[in-house]
Structure formats: structure tokens, C-alpha cells
Amino acid sequence: MILSLEAVTGGYGEVDILNGIDLALEAGSILTVAGTNGAGKSTLAKAVVGLLPRVGGRIRLDGRDIVGLPAEERARAGIGYVPQVANVFPSLTIEENLAVVEGVADRRGRIGALLAMFPALAERRRFRAQSLSGGERQQLAFARALMTAPRVMVLDEPTAALAPSRVAESFERIATLARTGIAVLLIEQRARQALAISHRGAILDGGKVALAGPAADLLADETAARLFLGAG
Amino acid sequence: MTDLLELAIAGLMSGLVIGLAALAVTLVFGIARFANAATGDTMTLGAYATLGGTAATGSLIAGGAIGILAGAAAGVIAYATVFRKLERRSPVAALLASIGVGFVIRAGLGLVYGHGQQVFQLPLVRPWRVWGIRIQPTDLEIAAAALATLAAVFLILHATPIGRQMRAVADDPDLARVSGIAPRRVMIALWALAGGVAAVAGCLLGIKTVVAPEMGWDMLLPAFAAAILGGIGHPVGAVVAGVLLGIAQETATPWVGFTYKIALSFAVLLLVLLVRPRGLFGRIEGVR
Ligand SMILES: Nc1ncnc2c1ncn2[C@@H]1O[C@H](COP(=O)(O)OP(=O)(O)O)[C@@H](O)[C@H]1O
Ligand SMILES: [Mg+2]
């Protein structure tokens, strides 16, 4: 297991938002985390990347407990993160958004490779990120998170800000990430589509894992379908 | 007409000083997210250190460098001892603490140097006359120093890795951290930069007028007004607004009188806060 969570609790203040979460993620696999609004999905993502003020339990990256590690060191240790909102530096140019990332071995080469991967960004490399469309911002956020060549990517509702016509493309890109060996923790409202490209799935409710298992089983599970996956 | 032009030139000079002070305010506000009321007293410290450094080395340039170092050191020390510990608290706590830090600097300088005024002993130069307008060669040197400082700050912000990191933290501190940027390094660089800029402002003000323990504190209101007018957290805006405010203050003097020109800053401050809180250049989302 590249990433594992054991009895993870935590929150922003006195109140626990996460109430004992166990999850595991294998290299090159995708784990979808679904759940209603306010279930604690984004809070879980913050706990993993190191932005949650208070965390209990264990979070292991390659077996090493990283709960005490600050966010910037987790990033350098190989955890990439695309937040749900505010996922680019708006006043920095496209190129600066990538160049600003620390803990990158060959920065120039990496920027070149990522811009080649996202031609729309390459074209506008000298423009400020605030001038980008929602879809382009998403691409930049992906590229920024990929700068450190992470082994784990935490994606918080990557398709939420996209035009419907762009959603399939985005899921395709995520599947490609996993094929290159990156472990993906995919938080998604579009649970059916997400599960379709995932190996495993978990459904969060009230800061707890309500249901978990192989993605195919969850898709077939009537209770899961009725309670959490909706019609889509 | 000539009189008005000469007033405008005087305004430009004080405007550059206000602009530099506002730049120091706005840098700290944009990145550390509070209004630093110790900025004025850091200016004063810079002026005294330059005075002392000039006396010790016999060179104003070397003295200025010592002044800048002193301002930068004061900024870093204030961060390490006070502001770092208030990072997770409200901006009001930091603002109140900064009033205290400013008081300590001011009182310390008063204790060491006394409350009298000191002046830079510069050779007297006859003013030039260009189309009947008097121009002081010293003013040109002051303007050149101010512009060089601005150029240096913008170079640091836009052409160095640490400057890029500062702008990233200003945009989004959490996103900066998950991008591997260590906040501590950025903060130390910020406080050194802001302290150095404030010291230059104080030094130029001291050369233009006199050096006294209250000189910087008296500049705080215009500096805040310019920072807000320029769109808080917006470096270019702060400088432009500082110059505008300086020119407005001086050219208004014949009408409002010398004692009331400072009131203009206050009027501008109130007006901007009431009518256009984001200032001339600020983005509304820039203020979080
Ligand atoms: N920054 C915050 N400070 C305090 N409470 C928060 C914060 N962000 C989210 N919460 C609370 O945490 C709970 C879970 O939120 P979140 O993790 O964002 O849910 P989800 O992503 O599943 O919609 C909610 O009750 C929300 O109000
Ligand atoms: Mg969320």
C-alpha cells in the first residue's frame, strides 16, 4: 500500500469532522471517495495533504507515518493535491504557477514536459492564470500538482467546475495518471462515472466510511446506488 | 503657475517617500495579512542607522546600506519574536502588536538619540533653474534612489524564485504549502524586504527634512492611506497612490494651510474606504 489511513480523526476546531476513517490505496490504482455534501470528503483530502489543523490516527505514505509532517514536506515527499476550489495562483502566469513549485529535481525539463502534455496551457504560458477558463484552470492545477512527480494524487472533485462536455476527457486523464503508476485518491460527486474508472470505492457519511469495496461491487450494490450514487 | 509646479515637484518628492512606505505596508499586508503599524518607526530606525552609518564611514552610500540592513534586521527580528507567534490569530491581534513594536522602536531611539532633531550634513548645492522652475539637485538624487529601490523590489518580486514564492503565498498560502513552499523562508524574506524598503523611505525623508524619533510615526497615516488607495496588497498601486497623495498634499497647501495637509490623507483614507474599498487597482478577491 502506498497510502493508508488508520482510524483518522480530526477537524478544524474542537469538533471532529472525521470520525475514524480507514482507507488504503495501492500504487497505480484509483480509489473513489463519494458522499453527500458535507460528508467530510474535502476534509479528508486536507487531512491527507497536511492542511487540516487537527488530525489524529495514522496516515502512512510508503509505510512511514506522515501525520506530523507539514504540508510542504508532504508535497515534497510525493503527495500531489488538486483542491476543489482555488487550485491555481491567479496572479501568477501559467509558467510561474509551475515554476513556483519547490522540491522539483529538473524544473526546466519538468515544465517543458508538462506544457507539452497540455498544449492549451503552453499557448498561454505568459498569461496570468486568472485569465484561464474553468477547464484550463483544471489543467493547470493538474500540471502544478504533477510538477513534483508525485506518487499519490489527491483530486478533490476535479470535474465539478467543468463544462459537461469536458467531463469524460477529465476522467480519461485521471485513468491515464493511474496507468503511469500514480495512486489516485479521487473525490467525486459524479460517483458512477468515477467508479467506472476506479479500482475501489468508499462512501463517506458523517465523517465515517459507510461503505467500501471494489468499484464494481459498489456500482452493483443496490443500497449504495439508492443512498449515495443517485440516478447519474 | 511656476509656484504650483514647484509645489508639484515637492509633492512628487514626498509622494515617493509615502509611496515607498506604502509599498512596505502593502507587501506585509498582502503576504502576512495585517496592517503593520510599526512600518513608520522602522523608517525612523532606518534614518538613524543611515545617519550613524554615514558618520562612521564618511560615505552616505555606505550609510544608506547600513540603514537598509538595520531596517531589514528590525523586520526579521519583529517577525521572529512577535508576529510569527500571532500567525494563527486574528489580524487585529497582529495590528495591536505592531503598534507595540513601533512604540518600542520609537522609545528606544528616543532613549539613545534624545528627542532633538538631527540633520544629514550634506554639502549645500545651488538649485538649478529650468524654465524658471527651481530644481534641487538633491531632489533628483532622492528620486533616483527611490526609483532604484522600486526597481529592485519589483525585480525581486518578479524575477527571483523567492519573489515568485512571495506572490504565490500572497495569492493562496495553503496552495503554496501544498506546492512545497515552506512558509517560514518566505516570511523571513518578506520581513527583510519590507523592513529594508521602510528604511529607505525613512532615510530619504530624513535627507529631505530632519531626523527625529517621531518622523516615521507621523508618516503612518499617509502610508496607510496610500496603501488603501492603491488597493491593499497591490505594490504598483501603493507607489502610484503614494505619489498622487504626495502631490495632492503639497499642491493643496496654499489653500488648506500647512497644518491641515495631513488631514488630506485622512480624508482620502475615509473616502476610499467608504466609496471604493478595493482602491484604484485592487481586485476585490485580493482582500480575504
Ligand atoms: N474551513 C472549515 N472550517 C470549519 N468547518 C469546516 C471547514 N470546511 C468544512 N467544514 C465543515 O466540515 C464538514 C465537512 O465539510 P467538507 O469536508 O467540505 O464536506 P464535503 O467535501 O464532503 O462536501 C462540514 O460540516 C463543513 O461545514
Ligand atoms: Mg468538498
Q: For chain B, which domains are there? A: 2-275 (1.10.3470)
**Closest by alpha carbon to B282, among A218, A80, A91?**
A91
B129 phi-psi bin (left φ>0, alpha ψ -120 to 50, beta other): beta
pLDDT at B288: 33
pLDDT of residue B286: 40
- Residue owning the nearest CA to atom 24 of ligand 1: A38
Q: What is the pLDDT of residues A110-156, one digit of tens each?
A: 999 999 999 999 999 999 999 999 889 999 999 999 999 999 999 99
- pLDDT at position A230: 62
Cβ–Cβ under 8 Å, residues A51 and A71: yes
Task: Sketch the domain layout of chain A as residue ranges.
Answer: 3-229
How far does the CA of residue A53 sit from the closest CA of chain B (Å)? Answer: 10
Going from the Cα of A15 to the center of ligand 1, the distance in angstroms, rounded, reads 11
Residue A100 · residue A106 · CB < 8 Å: no
Answer whether B170 sits within 8 Å of A91, measured CB to CB: yes
User: Residue A211 belongs to what H/E stretch?
Assistant: strand A208-214
Query: With an 8 Å Cβ cutoff, is B171 touching chain A?
Result: yes
Q: Count CB neighbours of A134 within 10 A.
A: 11
Under 8 Å between Cβ of A175 and A181: no
The verdict on B181 touching A (C-beta cutoff 8 Å) is: yes
What pLDDT, on a 0 to 100 scale, did the predictor assign at position B260? 73
Q: Per the CATH hierarchy, to which homologous superfamily does domain A3-229 belong?
A: P-loop containing nucleotide triphosphate hydrolases (3.40.50.300)
**What ligand has the least distance to the C-alpha of A52?**
1
Mean pLDDT within A32-60: 96
For residue B285, the model assigns a pLDDT of 41
Looking at residue B55, what is its pLDDT?
94
Q: Is A26 on the interface with B (CB under 8 A)?
A: no
Alpha-carbon distance A161 to A167, whole Å? 9
pLDDT digits (tens, 9 = 90+) for A207-219: 999 999 999 998 8
DSSP 8-state symbol, B85? G
Q: How far is the CA of A189 from the centre of ligand 2 (A)?
A: 9
* Distance in Å, CA A70 to ligand 2 centroid: 21
A48 in contact with B at a CB cutoff of 8 Å? Answer: no
Distance from CA of A83 to the nearest CA of B (A): 8
Atom from ligand 1 closest to the CA of residue A41: 22
User: Cα A196 from chain centroid?
Assistant: 17
> Are A102 and B168 within 8 A, CB to CB?
no
Q: What is the pLDDT of residue B284?
A: 44
Q: Is A35 touching ligand 1 by the criterion CB < 6 Å?
A: yes
Proportion of chain A above pLDDT 90, given as a percent: 84
Q: ipTM above 0.85?
A: yes
Determine the pLDDT at residue B206.
96
Contact B181 A100 (CB under 8 A): yes
Chain A contact probe: residue of B177, B179, B236 with most A CBs at under 10 A: B179
A40 Cβ inside 6 Å of ligand 1: yes
Alpha-carbon span A187 to A131, nearest angstrom? 26
Strands A200-205 and A183-187: unpaired
| Tens digit of each residue's pLDDT, chain B (288 residues) | 778 888 888 899 999 999 999 999 999 999 999 999 999 999 999 999 999 999 999 999 999 999 999 999 999 999 999 999 998 888 899 999 999 999 999 999 999 999 999 998 887 788 888 887 888 888 899 999 999 999 999 999 999 999 999 999 999 999 999 999 999 999 999 999 999 999 999 999 999 999 999 999 999 999 999 999 998 888 999 999 999 999 988 888 777 776 777 787 788 878 887 877 777 776 544 433
Mutation target to probe the B interface, by most B beta carbons within 10 A, among A79, A81, A102, A114 is A102
Structure confidence at residue A228 (pLDDT): 67
A38 lines ligand 1 (CB under 6 A): yes
Is the model more confident about B268 or about A53?
A: A53
pLDDT of residue A232 exceeding 60, the answer is: no
pLDDT value of position B274: 80
- Between residues B255 and A7, which one has the greater pLDDT? A7
pLDDT of residue B282: 66
Query: Quick check: CB of A165 below 6 Å from ligand 1?
Result: no
Do the Cβ atoms of B179 and A70 come within 8 Å? no
Please count the CA atoms within 13 angstroms of the CA of B174 that sit on its side-chain side.
Answer: 16
Contact A81 B181 (CB under 8 A): no
Taking the centre of ligand 2 as the mean of its atom positions, its distance from the CA of residue A186, in whole angstroms, is 12
Cα–Cα distance, A152 to A78 (Å, whole number):
6
A48 CA from centroid of ligand 2 (Å): 14
| pLDDT tens digit sequence for A91-121 | 999 999 999 999 998 999 999 999 999 999 9
